[in-house]
Amino acid sequence: MKRSFAVVAAALLALTGCATQAPKAQPASTAAGVPRAGAQASAAKSESAEPLPDQELTETILYEFLLAEIAGQRGNVGIAAQAYVDLAKRTRDPRIARRATEIAVFGRMGNAAIDAAKIWYEVDPQSQRALQALCGLLVNAGRFDEALPYLKTLLAGAEGGAGGGFMQLNRTLASARDKSAALSLVQQLAEGYPKLAQARYALAQAAANAQQHDLAISEIRRAQELQPDWEAAVLFEAQLLQPSSNAEAVARLSEFLARHPDSREVRLGYARALVAGRRYAEARGEFQKLLKDFPDNTEVTYAVALLSLQLSDYALAERNLNRLLELDYPDKASVQLYLGQIAEEQKDYPEALRRYAGIDHGEQFLAAQIRYAQVLAKQGKLAEARAHLQQVSSSSSQQRVQLVLAEAQMLRDANRAPEAFALLERALESLPDNPDLLYDYAMLAERIDRVDVLESSLKKLIELKPDHAHAYNALGYTLAERNLRLPEARELIEKALTLSPGDAFIMDSMGWVLYRMGNLEESLKFLRRAFSDRADPEIAAHLGEVLWVSGKRAEAEKIFDEAARKHPDNETLNSTIQRLKR
């Protein structure tokens, strides 16, 4: 009864990860807005020479300076910071004020850092670094009203004008704990720039950070009205749209590309959004367009390879994976793993074993060893496969669990469920609270008709992990499948659906329990949605059966025929078809 995704699906999800991200930030300062020590020299070159006071080096100043430095070297940051702040107040020297600011920030002495930064800016009002530091520190302390005039000055004098200042603004505000107050601050700053696209962009960012989704959408669209060809704005809009409607994000990016077909960043975002929507063939087409412009781009090459693998276009997948081995791609072990899977799919088992054996260390080592054993099992060498898994060294209990689960799965596939059950039972003696072992143990209990063990194991798992959606689902589905305690089964599946609302298999379970309870109309709603999200053969079997019983036999026949053609060996599907048609 346990269902699993294809290995490649997890990697494809990585392609959607920043599908429509705003442009990357420029080199960062500290959280409080103070430049890193390593950046001081280069930053100094970009500013005019600091106005230095005619400072007499008295014994008192020298003493306090040495006191501060020695305290800092001995790790007494608080004493060093306070000594430097006092020295800055006495000398009003910008160099000392800057040093006092940096040390106070390092020592997390917020008020002292603000005092020092104020002196720094007062004695060197032309210093953008001083102004940035002061703004960041005031924002970090939540002193927004006090920060407002300084931020206005910062915007007016920013490199690239106010537009450049607004594009940096939310980085300055990133440390603000009160996101609603930060939004209010940006709104006040933007009042003076009603026709500046970057001001609307900054407002959209601040609104998004404050969970004001509608305002964020409204402002980013205003930014695009003011600057229609702005790539960053359309990418940010798509990023905002994607969580609630990936289809809307795709449509918005597509509209932009229709007007600006040479926009590479938007095309990359569009391709990733298509992957997120599981429109793999279209996504591959977009990545291939990008590949023509960037033939040596490893990210794009990798995307084409994985999408081709997902689409069972093994020749193109293999060509691009081999290309990655030629290029300077850092994760060559993953490439070898996928090449092994291609060989495995084409039943070239010697080549698959060669690829997996070549991965002898690193993050993919364990996965390669498990697949190596699985290939042996496919060749009928189950004893050899089990011996291979048992001799693989593991660096943690969780790795050992993965090896045990892989061995149990091979036994299950060989129709030796009682042996697999006994194997997991022994593993649980040393790791009784391991969630993965408990879940698979419960699934095997169902296979050998030990519903009592299934129920006790899943209930224990739910106690250990109350947010384990599939534990609720598995227990609810098992009860529904056996027509037992249907109201309780429905409650369990509803809980699972609350925890994981977009899961096709849980929607399938909900459709199935509703069918068992006689609610055919509601059952079909859930089953249709589940099947549209994932055309799994077991979901097809459930949907087909409910359609058949509902009198929609032509539609049921069509679903059965298509599913049987794609999954001719699926036991659940075949038994359902035979039972209904006899």
| Region 217-242 average pLDDT | 94
Per-residue confidence at 106, pLDDT binned at 50, 70, 90? confident
Any domain includes 171: no
Do residues 388 and 376 make contact, with C-beta atoms less than 8 angstroms apart?
Answer: yes
Q: With helix as H, strand as E and coil as C, how does 171-217 read?
A: HHHHHCCCHHHHHHHHHHHHCCCCCCHHHHHHHHHHHHHCCCHHHHH
Computed over its alpha carbons, how large is the radius of gyration of the chain? 31
The tally of domains found in the chain comes to: 1
Neighbours of 394 (CB within 10 A): 14
Any domain includes 475: no
| Whether this model's pTM surpasses 0.85 | no
What sign results for the dihedral spanned by CA atoms 118, 120, 122, 125?
negative
Nearest by Cα to 342 from 371, 300, 299: 371
Q: Is the pLDDT of residue 494 over 60?
A: yes
Q: Is the pLDDT of residue 6 over 70?
A: no
| Region 256-280 average pLDDT | 93
pLDDT score recorded for residue 33: 39
pLDDT score recorded for residue 453: 96
Look at 139 and 363; give whichever has higher pLDDT.
363
φ/ψ region of 415 (left if φ > 0, alpha if ψ in -120 to 50, else beta) reads left
Segment among 91-105, 181-195, 245-259, 265-279 with least mean pLDDT: 91-105
Nearest by Cα to 445 from 433, 430, 428, 431: 428
| Region 247-271 average pLDDT | 94
Query: What are the C-alpha distances in Å from 18 to residues 24, 139, 270?
Result: 11, 28, 11
Any domain includes 322: yes
Any domain includes 303: yes
User: In the structure encoding, which two tokens stand for residue 488, read together?
Assistant: 């309780």
Nearest by Cα to 392 from 427, 357, 425: 357
Cα 101 to Cα 84: distance, rounded to the nearest angstrom: 8
Cα 77 to Cα 71: distance, rounded to the nearest angstrom: 7
Nearest by Cα to 284 from 265, 300, 260: 300
Segment among 7-21, 166-180, 433-447 with least mean pLDDT: 7-21
Nearest by Cα to 402 from 442, 354, 437: 437
pLDDT score recorded for residue 11: 53
CATH number for the domain that contains residue 317: 1.25.40.10
The 10s digit of each residue's pLDDT in 30-52 is 333 333 333 333 344 444 445 55
Nearest by Cα to 395 from 428, 425, 366, 359: 366
Any domain includes 5: yes
Residue-range definition of the domain harbouring residue 283? 1-16+244-330
Q: Is the pLDDT of residue 205 over 50?
A: yes
pLDDT score recorded for residue 14: 52
pLDDT score recorded for residue 167: 84
Cα 222 to Cα 232: distance, rounded to the nearest angstrom: 13
Any domain includes 290: yes
Which residue is associated with the tokens 């300077």? Answer: 328
Query: What are the C-alpha distances in Å from 240 to residues 183, 257, 283?
Result: 17, 18, 20
Segment among 90-99, 134-143, 158-167 with least mean pLDDT: 158-167
Do residues 97 and 119 make contact, with C-beta atoms less than 8 angstroms apart?
Answer: yes
Q: Is the pLDDT of residue 298 over 70?
A: yes
Q: DSSP secondary-structure letter at 49?
A: P
pLDDT score recorded for residue 224: 95
Q: Is the pLDDT of residue 262 over 60?
A: yes
User: In the structure encoding, which two tokens stand for residue 144, read together?
Assistant: 């927004």
Any domain includes 98: no
Cα 196 to Cα 343: distance, rounded to the nearest angstrom: 56
Instruction: Concatenate the DSSP letters of all residues of 429-447 into one string.
Output: HH-TT-HHHHHHHHHHHHH
pLDDT score recorded for residue 31: 34
The 10s digit of each residue's pLDDT in 401-460 is 999 999 999 999 999 999 999 999 999 999 999 999 999 999 999 999 999 999 999 999
Q: Is the pLDDT of residue 2 over 50?
A: no
User: In the structure encoding, which two tokens stand for residue 405, read together?
Assistant: 């689960």
